Amino acid sequence: ARLRAQFAATQPATGWAEMPARRGAKGKQRRPEQPTGGASSDEDSDGAVEKLAAEAQDALLRGAPSLLGRSDAVSGQELAVKRTVDLNAAATSNSAVNCVAWHPNGQLALTAGFDKTLRLFRVDGTRNTLLQSVHLPKLQVASAAFSSDGARAFACGRGRQWACVDLHSGRATMMPSLPGREEAGYREVVPSPDGAT
């Protein structure tokens, strides 16, 4: 319960993750199982994790037909996968792609890597059109992410430099380091969910 509350506090829009009520064999809703009281807290948490994993697998398998375009149910032992066009097929990278990030609206994605270029794609699964390409001349990108409002993208390399890219204008602003921070370098960009930092 504590972990769920912490997740809900950091991820405000979690309605999509709510599990539908499960029904028993006779169509009645099941009540959540109550702990028996004889197990230790570690055993309780292990059991809760296993139960949550089983429920997530059931939900995935129930939703698979709509994702795969099939109407028949997927068994618990088999999951069909449909191959689609590569995300960056419209504009491949000249080096390894180090990061892929999804826009908050779920319809855009970015790729970036050591070729110092951040590419923004409209994701449709058939063409994945390149919308914008921003070259960052002094930054071999190791990590990139969208801001929570989706208006900007942030990228960092292995050193202390990082960049903020305004997606509306396509202008990149290079930042030498974060004021007051003493790290030798940055490895990952993670914007705050509330958009404040």
Find the mean pLDDT for residues 165-189: 85
Residue 114 has pLDDT above 60, yes or no: yes
pLDDT of residue 65: 53
pLDDT tens digits for range 123-167: 988 889 999 999 999 899 999 999 989 999 999 988 888 899 999
Confidence of residue 45 (pLDDT cuts 50, 70, 90): low
pLDDT of residue 53: 80
Q: Is 54 in contact with 60 (CB distance < 8 Å)? A: no
pTM for this prediction: 0.57
Residue 104 CA to residue 150 CA, distance in Å, equals: 6
Measured in residues, the chain has a length of: 197
The 10 Å Cβ neighbour count of residue 66 is: 9
Residue 59 CA to residue 50 CA, distance in Å, equals: 14
Residue 15 carries which DSSP code?
A: G
Provide Rg for the chain, Cα atoms. Answer: 22
DSSP track, the chain: -HHHHHHHHH-S--GGGPPPPPB-TTSPBPPPPPP-S-S-HHHHHHHHHHHHHHHHHHHHHHHHHHHHT--SPPPTT---------TTTTS--SS-EEEEEE-TTSSEEEEEETTSEEEEEE--SS---EEEEEE-TT---SEEEE-TTSSEEEEE-SSS-EEEEETTT--EEEES--TT---S--------TTS--
Residue 82 has pLDDT above 60, yes or no: yes
